[in-house]
Amino acid sequence: MQIQPILAALRHHRTAAFLIGMEIALACAILCNALFMITSRLDMMRVDSGVDESRLVAVWLEGVDDSSATDLAARLRAGFAGLAGVDSVGVGNAVPFTQRTGEMGFRLVADDMHYNQQGHFYVGGPRFAATLGLKLASGRWFRPDEYGAIAEFLPRSPSAMVDAAYAKKLWPGQDPLGKMVYSGTDGYRVIGTYASLVRPDPYPQAQHNTLLLAGTPGNGLASVYVLRTTPEQAARVWNDARALVTRIAPTVVIDPVHSGPMTDLRRAYFAADRAMAGLLVGVIVALLGVTALGIVGLASFWVQQRRRQIGVRRALGATRRDILRYFQTENFLIVSGGIVLGMVLAFGLNLVLMQHYELPRLPLYYLPIGALLLWVLGQLAVLGPALRAAAVPPVVATRSV
């Protein structure tokens, strides 16, 4: 199939070809970014929390300190531990899939004037890591004498633990054990790493940038009591825990959004992502449908306008396959031109999304994926009109003039 005659014919229909090309370009730009956003959302929903989610119940309390009632925190811990089906109780400042409470910048060099690292500091008591089900990757866990009282925001403790993957980013190619982390006037020595612990509010750019410090939240700060049970008893333990708080500390506030079985917290946290992914799928389907209708409409119009030319070509010996190939090649050229422009628009749209919605940069491999989808769509859309053109008998085409 010679391309030059097709290009010459398209020059006589510049406006229609341009409009379809622009429609393809816009579809390509939106399609590539929508596919990227969908996969990003799906990847986030599959993020590894690093904890035994099905066995955990979180009770997020506000106002648990001994200034409001003597030994209130101790009585709550003992009460939770006494619930049927509860294997252990830990206390921390946050758990995965809730809200950040320990987000802050830190330094790796003591005299550095800039806080050039950003992470979430989990603060947990003696049973916090074990109750969550964290796995030791290297080093050791905290000793009893390393748990310090909280001063303002972070505990006065000499030691810290770091997510293993995050430690590799902080100290690439080095052993993190013994390294120092500085926050404010406090310094923490890394004594170990855990296999995985996601931040409370994971998002594509930050998931496992977490550190764990030894201390027990309280003194007016939010306290999260983590109860370890079995998957079958999680719902009942959650109900029993709420009743216990009402009975022991009626003035303490339970945060209903960030409390409950961990599986429910994960489901609720990613509810918006699931809705967004579904919406984007609908947008893609509608966009491809409109694009296909545009191609079908233009091809059908051109078939009707070219009945005489088709008849002449058939009379001169062109086969049905030649006619079919002509229209498919013509459509392929239009779609290809639109795709080239659409790739440029895709990066431009991605820059806007990066600036306003903190979306990561669009990976290059989404461009050929979008192009392939549009090429296939174009060939399928033009197939019907092309088959009708190929089926026109030469004698009918010439007499219709």
Q: Answer whether residue 230 shows pLDDT above 80.
A: yes
> Quick one: 382 and 281 in the same domain?
yes
CB-count burial class (<10 Å; 0-12, 13-18, 19+) for 187 = middle
The rounded distance, in Å, linking the Cα atoms of 32 and 343 is 8
> Quick one: 244 and 333 in the same domain?
no
For the chain, give the percent of residues with pLDDT over 70: 91
pLDDT at 391: 78
The rounded distance, in Å, linking the Cα atoms of 33 and 362 is 7
Q: Tokens 């391309």 — which residue? A: 3
User: What is the model's pTM?
Assistant: 0.82
> Quick one: 236 and 326 in the same domain?
no
> Count of domains in the chain?
2
3-state SS assignment for residue 105: strand
Confidence of residue 312 (pLDDT cuts 50, 70, 90): confident
pLDDT at 395: 67
pLDDT at 1: 53
> Quick one: 115 and 40 in the same domain?
no
Average of per-residue pLDDT across 322-327: 83
Structure tokens at 373: 């989808």
φ, ψ of residue 186 to 5 degrees: the values are -100, 145
pLDDT at 280: 94
Average of per-residue pLDDT across 159-182: 96
H-state helical runs in 102-155: 128-132
The rounded distance, in Å, linking the Cα atoms of 193 and 208 is 12
Average of per-residue pLDDT across 261-286: 95
Which among 212, 241, 269 is the end of a domain? 269
Residue of higher predicted confidence among 359 and 97: 97
> Quick one: 278 and 264 in the same domain?
no
For the ranges 50-64, 71-85, 309-323, 328-342, which has the lowest average pLDDT?
A: 309-323
pLDDT at 220: 46
> Quick one: 246 and 333 in the same domain?
no
Q: How high is the mean pLDDT of the chain? A: 87
Classify 2 in phi/psi space as left (phi over 0), alpha (psi -120 to 50) or beta: beta
For residue 320, the enclosing domain spans: 3-45+272-399
> Quick one: 244 and 316 in the same domain?
no
For the ranges 239-248, 275-284, 300-309, 365-374, which has the lowest average pLDDT?
A: 300-309
Residues in CB range of 340: below 8 A, 6 or more apart: none
Residues in CB range of 91: below 8 A, 6 or more apart: 73, 77, 124, 125, 127, 128, 216, 217, 223, 224, 225, 226
Average of per-residue pLDDT across 215-239: 84
Which among 269, 295, 315 is the end of a domain? 269
> Quick one: 57 and 108 in the same domain?
yes
> Quick one: 216 and 192 in the same domain?
yes
The rounded distance, in Å, linking the Cα atoms of 336 and 368 is 12
Give Cα separations from 72 to 27, 29, 86, 93, 360 (angstroms).
60, 58, 19, 17, 45
86-140: pLDDT as tens digits: 999 999 999 999 998 889 899 999 888 788 899 999 999 999 999 999 999 999 9
The rounded distance, in Å, linking the Cα atoms of 237 and 84 is 8
193-217: pLDDT as tens digits: 999 999 999 988 899 999 999 987 6
Confidence of residue 346 (pLDDT cuts 50, 70, 90): very high
> Quick one: 303 and 229 in the same domain?
no
> Quick one: 343 and 229 in the same domain?
no
pLDDT at 303: 79
54-70: pLDDT as tens digits: 999 999 988 665 455 55
Give Cα separations from 177 to 101, 188, 309, 363 (angstroms).
26, 11, 79, 35
Which among 228, 245, 269 is the end of a domain? 269
The rounded distance, in Å, linking the Cα atoms of 312 and 161 is 81
> Quick one: 24 and 100 in the same domain?
no
